[in-house]
């Protein structure tokens, strides 16, 4: 009469087969769970951190004079009416400032408008005909008659947003 279970080689073969069957049965569930975790933790849009921030560099800043006023707009409808994000920073020590602008949410493009509030009154100074008397700037390529949504919008693609202030 043969024994029901052969020596250890048969037991290890049985265990290996049982393990394979168990793995084959659970792998689809593990794969679905892994996919769900990866989908819910997808990375933020390129160019933004997880909290909706973008890197901004401002050139031609007048060092140590007043404050830099920054506003970001998400669409043509909200441009210069309702900013997506705003920031007020003291003018730095040099002619170039670099900072993170946060609060951009899931936007894929924005238009930035900036001015250096030299007298720190919270408003852009203008002359009698409405021309700015304080340095100003815009993302993109502002036109001859100032920025617009079309000329100021930039994609949030990971590149630093560079703004050159007027002199």
**106-117 per-residue burial string, b: 16 or more CB within 10 A, e: under 16:** ebebbbbbbbbb
Backbone angles phi, psi at 79, to 5 degrees: -55, 125
Backbone angles phi, psi at 32, to 5 degrees: -65, -40
First to last CA, the chain: 103
Rounded to an integer, the average pLDDT of 112-132 is 95
pLDDT tens digits, 6-19: 444 444 444 344 44
pLDDT tens digits, 26-72: 445 544 443 343 333 344 444 455 468 999 999 999 999 999 999 99
Lowest mean pLDDT segment, chosen from 36-50, 73-87, 114-128, 141-155: 36-50
Rounded to an integer, the average pLDDT of 125-133 is 94
pLDDT tens digits, 141-154: 987 788 999 999 99
């Amino acid at each position: 009469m043969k024994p029901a279970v052969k020596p250890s080689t048969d037991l290890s073969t049985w265990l290996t087969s049982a393990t394979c069957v168990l793995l084959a049965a659970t792998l689809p569930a593990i794969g679905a769970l892994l996919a769900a975790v990866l989908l819910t933790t997808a990375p933020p849009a390129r160019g933004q951190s997880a909290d909706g921030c973008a890197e901004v560099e401002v050139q031609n800043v007048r060092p140590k004079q007043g404050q830099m006023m920054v506003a970001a707009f998400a669409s043509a409808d909200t441009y210069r009416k309702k900013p997506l994000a705003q920031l007020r920073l003291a003018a730095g020590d040099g002619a170039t400032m670099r900072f993170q602008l946060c609060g951009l949410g899931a936007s894929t493009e924005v238009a930035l408008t900036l001015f250096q509030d030299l007298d720190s009154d919270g408003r852009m100074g203008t002359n009698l005909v409405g021309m700015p008397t304080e340095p100003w700037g815009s993302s993109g390529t502002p036109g001859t008659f100032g920025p617009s949504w079309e000329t100021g919008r930039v994609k949030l693609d990971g590149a630093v947003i560079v703004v050159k202030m007027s002199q």
